[in-house]
Chain A
Amino acid sequence: MADAVVTPVTEVRRARPKPRSRLRKFFERKSTIAFFMALPLILLIFTLVIYPAFYAIYLTTLNKRMTATAWMKNCTYLPDWICTYIPFGNLQFLLTRETFWMVFWQSCLFAITAVIFKALIGFIVSHLVHNIPAKGQRKWRGMLLVPWVIPAAMSTLAWQWLFDPSYSAFNWILAQFEIERIAWTGVAHWARFSVILVNIWIGAPFFMIMYLAALKSVPDQLYEAAEIDGANWWQRIWFVTLPMMRNIIAITALFSTIVTFANFDIVRVLTAGGPLDKTHLFATWSFRLGIEGGDIPLGATVSLFMVPILAVAAAFILRDITRRGNEA
């Protein structure tokens, strides 16, 4: 019966005029449909991510008004052909600027310090949550994640008020202990401390959640075995927890390095780069130069300095993810 039905159908199909059916067939093909389903995504990525990324590189070659190419000046110390053919005027301008190197150093300090402390605090807090009976964990986890949930710009506003020059609530507490008031955002090193502190406060809960998820995937038997073998708590962490969590620790830190290095909201709201550019990061400085200063090419040049570090972190993350994909 089945054969009787199927055979005529194929005959009819063969009998059809060719060109039209071929086009239709193309559109009915699985891969074609799939391509059209993914087309909006492809268009979005190409027009609004990849194109602007290359456009940024082009922008770096222009002068402030974007009317002409920005050539290097006074570059007798370089071979002639470099000066005549390579439009690195903005780059040259930046590299000879003290503020640029300060921003460079500050960005690294900010990212490295913040990521280390976020990872440490996240690690500690995730262990604390993991230690308590499972019944109460949800409640604690819920409370501890609040800093991550509040929009960064809004919570930084609260910190700004906590750090207020004349009404700082922290200074009020210090005053109760007769400790001199601190200019949280007024002095360079305290301002740097403050922006890093706020970043840690916002980011540590994320680490906590990731590490908690990783801790839950470590089998209890391993700890029990270690405990019976007489391992103390430090040995249990060093020989059981860390090796089992290595992947998550690495990938979370890399993610966070990208986000922290490219951070904008916190510095922008808390100090706006001040005092005297002492807290600017690449992102905030490029905003200052590009949008507020009206020099888009220079701003774009500054922001492109984030690319190498981001690329390295992204390459490591990608390696990890494809490796795990292959294992699965």
Chain B
Amino acid sequence: MSMWEYANPRLFMSWTRSVLPWTFGLAGVCLVVGLVWGFFFTPDDFRQGSTVKIIYLHVPSALMAINAWIMMLVASLIWVVRRHHVSALAARAAAPVGVVMTLIALWTGAVWGQPMWGTWWAWDPRLTSFLILFLFYLGYIALWEAIEDPDTAADLTAILCIVGSIFAILSRYAVFFWNQGLHQGASLSLDAEKNVADVFYYPLLVCIAGFVLLFVALVLMRTRTEIRARRIKALQARGQHA
């Protein structure tokens, strides 16, 4: 069976019905274990003090804020190329989850920045590109809501998504593109020398897994909702024409 058949609306509804509870369950377990481990059982950092505990929320949410947009980009490109309705609906379903991830990253970053940098906010390249990404998320959701014809909405939001991807990439690599600003480089690295200490690293990995799984579960659930909403419209339109 071709992989595209799994995205057939009927088949999608069938396989996601059994996968969804497991994904939510695993996400809940990872989030509770990761956050409790990080908050209660990790030491303070010698420079940052207890604010280092914010890393367990900030890094996974920032990661997911960018990756949610990348997922929307892939789904939008599939829509543009293959006219696959479920992919357009999945992109739409992911946007509010991406907004929440971006808000958490901005909030935790500001709360951490105040005592560490002495300011809630700075027009630093990474922070600014992240704020623009947040505005793109809002614009993307507004555009979906503003256009009645779903195919036209999917086309126009796909274009917006492609344009916004510049800021998703900038949010990730701004520190390297402009070697200035307050924001430090990545907390996670394959180079052990640059990585955070193991005592912070392992609970952080569990939290990242929790955020990824929660994102997947929410997108699956919201896509199922969008498919059902689309079916309601189709049935109502059929009833009016009959």
A and B associate in one complex:
no
Interface residues of B (CB under 8 A from A): none
Interface residues of A (CB under 8 A from B): none
